[in-house]
């Protein structure tokens, strides 16, 4: 009990004589003080009593458990075999319960919490999702099909209902799957770095095709002609393996085939390492996680690698991204989508907030715009662009008048319609059918229709009777259910078209798709008259009390002319799923880093993703490709810099400094680095 004892100041003890000498005020003060001390002592006593009583009960419980489960050897042996087995099973049951409670204590929060109550709660909350409502939806579809097939011809919308329900599923031939190559043997021969060029072949001048001579053997000739430049040339010939053309003065620095080079003369990190880091960034790994150990081992500054990677992006990758974009602008079909990606500088927050002081340019939310070609395009291109906002003006700054597409495929966002009007011409707009289908499913799965039909208490006849009443009255729930079935059959036909070789068959499938969409249009038009409100501008909005059924119907009516554009052109997809799937790597990185600090580095990120995704779509190994490309660009810019430096009498005591890539790339031919051209050149070599 010593451990719970509290040290209190001792009270002064008065005898009778001393008490008589005290005044009335002092006696009152003494009484109050004594009462307070008494209450404190009683409170401490009650606390100690509670501890003792709890300890007593715990000891009693432990004694009972010990008596029940800790059996002496002689007592255990005296029990019958059945009693011994029963005792062991009971012990295992208690152990299992204790283990379960321990796991609940460890994982006591969020979706990882263990326990039947939590599982039931989560299942109940997710009851309206597509996964959990799929069985109910399948059963409801089966019932409505039976009802529709027996509908009288004079029933409203009977023709449309029957055309959808009686539409047969397309027969899709099984695709021939190519056998996987499996695990490949790694080449054990590891190339060692050389200090001299691998080839002894003398290069020719790029400008005049004259055979070049080695600078070290040309020093004497230069000495006689240009004595002021002698020291500079000798120093240069000792530092690098440089050749010069005696006719036109073109310089050429020959680097070993496997030699590393920086992104710029003033930088210290090799280009190959930066390309690998960019690959990690594309895979969703934040830069700071990749270079954490690297900074410690190589004693690099906290921003050294990021600055080098920034140079790689703006000097090498950005011109390549513009090349890809120039190819995308020639595409006949353009698919667009945008996703949220916060940039703190554009929001007036973070380390770079002072860079954006104009409050009129600040935005609460920032986006990335993804542009890609259709699956039918001969060359697959993916471009990612930074958007300060989701306005039509921001999108128009990226989708400019030099884009030559005839059809734009989007998710139906109204700003794209404004962009198309600004571009002019007879460009078409295909809105995503999957987004429309999602709205139908959200309305259906959140209603009571599926739950009522799924009740086990109702028999088959009762379910058919209820559904027949709904269908005959063209009730919104039954109409939406039939429209969902129509879209499912439409995508079944779409898959058949993608796998069918015969043009006649493809056209037949397309006519059947057109018939399904025509039936859906009539059903939605009928529902719009009942549950939607038509405004003076001709647009539809959700009716009062219409709920999600009304919202889905208004969504369709406002975009009805944009849902059938793909019917007339096999190259146009019915949805924007392709660009959404190609945009997914960016969402992985967003989940890991949450935001970017500056707009400039956001543009770098967009260029990295544009190039790596485009190369991946065209079956090109991005790391190997970019190493070759960076080496080619660096060599060209370096040669041009030294050629101009030698002609201008560059002082040997001064370095060339940072290379001017903007000037150096003015006469560089980027076309061989287009994916299609690159693959062709690789096949020929």
- Do residues 439 and 552 lie in contact, with contact meaning Cβ atoms separated by under 8 Å? yes
Measured CA to CA, the distance from residue 290 to residue 589 in angstroms comes to: 13
**474: closest CA among 165, 141, 142, 155?**
155
Sign of CA dihedral 473, 474, 475, 481: positive
Q: Which residue has the tokens 């050749």?
A: 243
- Do residues 99 and 107 lie in contact, with contact meaning Cβ atoms separated by under 8 Å? no
Lowest mean pLDDT among 12-16, 49-53, 622-626: 12-16
Residue 104 confidence (pLDDT): 41
Residue 431 phi, psi dihedral angles, 5° rounding: -90, 150
Q: Is 178 helix (H, G, I), strand (E, B) or coil?
A: coil
- Do residues 348 and 362 lie in contact, with contact meaning Cβ atoms separated by under 8 Å? yes
**422: closest CA among 385, 392, 389?**
392
Structure tokens at 33: 């003080």
Q: What is the pLDDT of residues 585-623, one digit of tens each?
A: 899 889 888 888 889 999 999 999 999 999 999 999 999
Residue 301 confidence (pLDDT): 77
Structure tokens at 432: 């995503």
Lowest mean pLDDT among 281-285, 483-487, 541-545: 541-545
Q: What is the pLDDT of residues 189-215, one digit of tens each?
A: 544 444 445 455 677 777 677 777 665
Measured CA to CA, the distance from residue 592 to residue 612 in angstroms comes to: 19
Gyration radius (Cα) of the chain, Å: 39
Sign of CA dihedral 668, 671, 674, 680: negative
**157: closest CA among 144, 140, 139, 175?**
144
Structure tokens at 603: 């543009």
Sign of CA dihedral 393, 396, 398, 401: negative
DSSP code for 187: P
Q: What is the pLDDT of residues 85-142, one digit of tens each?
A: 777 777 777 666 655 444 443 333 443 344 455 556 555 555 545 455 677 788 888 8
The better pLDDT of the pair 479, 218 is held by 479
Residue 183 confidence (pLDDT): 65
Q: Which band of pLDDT confidence, cut at 50, 70 and 90, is reported for residue 26?
A: confident
Q: What is the pLDDT of residues 411-440, one digit of tens each?
A: 999 999 999 999 988 999 999 999 999 999
The better pLDDT of the pair 153, 662 is held by 662
- Do residues 319 and 665 lie in contact, with contact meaning Cβ atoms separated by under 8 Å? yes
Residue 681 confidence (pLDDT): 94
Measured CA to CA, the distance from residue 577 to residue 374 in angstroms comes to: 10
Q: What is the mean pLDDT of residues 451-462?
A: 78
Asked if residue 61 has pLDDT above 70, the reply is: no
Furthest-apart CA atoms within the chain: distance in Å? 129
Q: What is the mean pLDDT of residues 8-25?
A: 67
Measured CA to CA, the distance from residue 396 to residue 77 in angstroms comes to: 89
Measured CA to CA, the distance from residue 270 to residue 121 in angstroms comes to: 54
Q: Which residues of 559-585 are buried (b: 16+ CB within 10 A; e: fewer)?
A: bbebbbbbbebeebbbbbbbbbebbeb
Residue 179 confidence (pLDDT): 64
**410: closest CA among 369, 446, 445?**
369
Q: What is the mean pLDDT of the chain?
A: 81
Structure tokens at 567: 């019917």
- The two beta strands, 428-431 and 242-244, are unpaired
Structure tokens at 256: 């070993």
Q: Which band of pLDDT confidence, cut at 50, 70 and 90, is reported for residue 314?
A: very high
Q: HEC states along 259-288?
A: CCCECCCCCCCEHHHHHHHHHHHHCCCCHH
The better pLDDT of the pair 115, 571 is held by 571
The better pLDDT of the pair 684, 172 is held by 684
**441: closest CA among 132, 131, 143, 130?**
130
Percentage of the chain modeled with pLDDT above 90: 42
**CA-CA distances (angstroms) from residue 649 to 265, 635, 643, 644?**
19, 21, 10, 9
Q: What is the mean pLDDT of residues 677-681?
A: 95
- Beta carbons within 10 angstroms of residue 308's beta carbon: 22
Residue 36 confidence (pLDDT): 81
Residue 618 confidence (pLDDT): 96
Top mean-pLDDT range of 458-467, 514-523, 535-544 = 514-523
The better pLDDT of the pair 542, 653 is held by 542
Contacts of 641 (CB under 8 A, 6+ apart): 656, 659, 660, 664
Measured CA to CA, the distance from residue 520 to residue 482 in angstroms comes to: 8
Asked if residue 62 has pLDDT above 70, the reply is: no
Please report the DSSP string for 553-605 in residue order. Answer: HHHHHHHGGGSSGGGG-TTS-SSSHHHHHHTHHHHHHHHHH--BS-HHHHHHH
Q: Which residue has the tokens 């830069």?
A: 287
- Beta carbons within 10 angstroms of residue 441's beta carbon: 21
Is 0.85 topped by the overall pTM? no
Q: Which residue has the tokens 């699956």?
A: 375
Q: What is the pLDDT of residues 461-484, one digit of tens each?
A: 888 988 999 999 999 999 999 999
Sign of CA dihedral 629, 634, 637, 640: negative
The better pLDDT of the pair 318, 501 is held by 318
* Cross-strand partners of 372: 335, 382
Residue 444 phi, psi dihedral angles, 5° rounding: -70, -45
Please report the DSSP string for 47-73 in residue order. Answer: HHHHHHHHHHHHHHHHHHHHHHH---H
Asked if residue 352 has pLDDT above 80, the reply is: no
Q: Which band of pLDDT confidence, cut at 50, 70 and 90, is reported for residue 76?
A: low
Q: DSSP strand E in 310-464: where? A: 333-340, 367-373, 382-387, 407-410, 428-431
Residue 217 confidence (pLDDT): 57
- Do residues 32 and 55 lie in contact, with contact meaning Cβ atoms separated by under 8 Å? no
- The two beta strands, 428-431 and 407-410, are parallel
Residue 140 confidence (pLDDT): 84
Q: What is the pLDDT of residues 230-285, one digit of tens each?
A: 444 444 444 567 788 888 888 888 877 777 888 988 788 889 999 999 999 999 98
Q: HEC states along 277-329?
A: HHHHHHCCCCHHHHCHHHHHHHCCCCCHHHHHHHHHHHHHHHHHHHHHHHHHC
Q: Which residue has the tokens 């996680």?
A: 289
Work out the burial of residue 3: count CB atoms within 10 Å of its CB; fewer than 13 is exposed, 13-18 middle, 19 or more buried. exposed
Lowest mean pLDDT among 90-104, 434-448, 550-564: 90-104
Q: DSSP strand E in 388-480: where? A: 407-410, 428-431
Asked if residue 286 has pLDDT above 50, the reply is: yes
* Cross-strand partners of 405: none
Lowest mean pLDDT among 71-80, 459-468, 510-519, 646-655: 71-80
Residue 139 confidence (pLDDT): 83
Measured CA to CA, the distance from residue 231 to residue 342 in angstroms comes to: 54
Domain ranges of the chain: 12-69, 433-575
The better pLDDT of the pair 47, 450 is held by 450
350 φ/ψ sector (left φ>0, alpha ψ -120 to 50, else beta): left
């Amino acid at each position: 009990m010593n451990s719970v004892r509290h040290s209190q100041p001792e009270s002064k003890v008065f005898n009778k004589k001393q008490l008589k000498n005290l005044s009335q005020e002092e006696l009152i003060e003494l009484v109050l003080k004594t009462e307070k001390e008494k209450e404190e002592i009683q409170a401490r006593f009650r606390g100690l009593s509670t501890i003792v009583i709890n300890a007593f009960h715990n000891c009693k419980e432990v004694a009972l458990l010990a008596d029940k489960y800790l059996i002496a050897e002689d007592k255990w042996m005296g029990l019958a075999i059945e009693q011994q087995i029963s005792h062991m099973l009971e012990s295992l049951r208690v152990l299992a319960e204790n283990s379960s409670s321990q796991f609940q204590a460890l994982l006591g929060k969020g979706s990882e919490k263990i326990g039947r109550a939590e599982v039931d709660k989560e299942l109940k909350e997710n009851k309206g999702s597509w996964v959990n409502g799929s069985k109910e939806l399948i059963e409801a579809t089966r019932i409505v099909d039976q009802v529709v097939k027996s509908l009288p011809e004079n029933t409203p919308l009977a023709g449309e209902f029957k055309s959808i329900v009686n539409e047969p599923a397309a027969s899709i031939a099984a695709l021939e799957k190519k056998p996987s190559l499996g695990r490949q043997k790694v080449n054990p021969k590891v190339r060692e770095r050389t200090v001299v060029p691998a080839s002894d072949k003398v290069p020719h001048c790029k400008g005049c095709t004259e055979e070049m001579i080695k600078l070290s053997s040309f020093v004497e000739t230069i000495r006689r002609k240009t004595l002021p430049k002698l020291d500079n040339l000798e120093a240069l010939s000792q530092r690098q393996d440089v050749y010069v053309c005696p006719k036109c003065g073109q310089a050429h620095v020959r680097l070993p085939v496997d030699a590393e080079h920086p992104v710029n003369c003033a930088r210290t990190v090799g280009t190959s390492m930066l390309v690998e880091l960019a690959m990690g960034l594309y895979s969703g790994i934040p830069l700071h996680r990749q270079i954490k150990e690297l900074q410690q081992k190589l004693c690099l500054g906290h921003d050294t690698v990021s600055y080098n990677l920034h140079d790689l992006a703006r000097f090498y990758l950005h011109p390549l991204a513009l090349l890809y974009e120039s190819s995308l602008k020639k595409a006949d079909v353009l698919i667009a989508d945008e996703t949220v990606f916060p940039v703190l500088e554009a929001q007036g927050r973070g380390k770079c907030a002072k860079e954006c002081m104009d409050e009129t340019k600040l935005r609460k939310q920032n986006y990335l715009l993804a542009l890609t070609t259709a699956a039918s395009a001969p060359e697959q291109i993916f471009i990612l662009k930074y958007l300060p906002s989701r306005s039509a003006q921001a999108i128009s700054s990226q989708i400019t008048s030099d884009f030559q597409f005839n059809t734009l495929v989007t998710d139906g966002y109204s700003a794209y319609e404004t962009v198309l009007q600004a571009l002019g011409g007879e460009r078409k707009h295909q809105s995503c059918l999957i987004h429309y289908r999602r709205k139908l499913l959200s309305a259906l799965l959140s209603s009571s229709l599926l739950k009522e039909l799924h009740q086990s208490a109702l028999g088959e006849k009762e379910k058919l009777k209820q559904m027949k009443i709904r269908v005959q009255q063209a009730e919104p729930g039954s109409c939406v259910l039939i429209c969902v079935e129509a879209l499912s059959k439409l995508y079944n036909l779409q898959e058949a078209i993608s796998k069918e070789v015969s043009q006649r068959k493809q056209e037949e499938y397309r006519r059947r798709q057109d018939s399904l969409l025509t039936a859906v249009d009539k059903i939605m038009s009928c529902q719009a008259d009942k549950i939607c409100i038509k405004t003076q501008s001709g647009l539809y909005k959700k009716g009062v009390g219409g709920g999600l059924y009304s919202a889905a119907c208004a969504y369709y009516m406002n975009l009805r002319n944009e849902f059938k554009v793909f019917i007339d052109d096999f190259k146009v997809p019915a949805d924007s799923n392709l660009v959404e799937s190609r945009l997914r790597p960016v969402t992985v990185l967003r989940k890991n880093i949450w935001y970017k600090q500056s707009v400039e580095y956001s543009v770098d990120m967009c260029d990295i993703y544009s190039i790596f995704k485009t190369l991946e779509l065209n079956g090109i190994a991005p790391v190997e490709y970019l190493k070759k490309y960076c080496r080619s660009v660096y060599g060209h810019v370096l040669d041009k810099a030294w050629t101009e430096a030698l002609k201008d009498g560059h002082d040997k005591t001064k370095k060339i400094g940072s290379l001017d890539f903007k000037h150096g790339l003015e006469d560089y031919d980027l076309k061989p680095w287009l994916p299609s051209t690159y693959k062709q050149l690789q096949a020929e070599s």
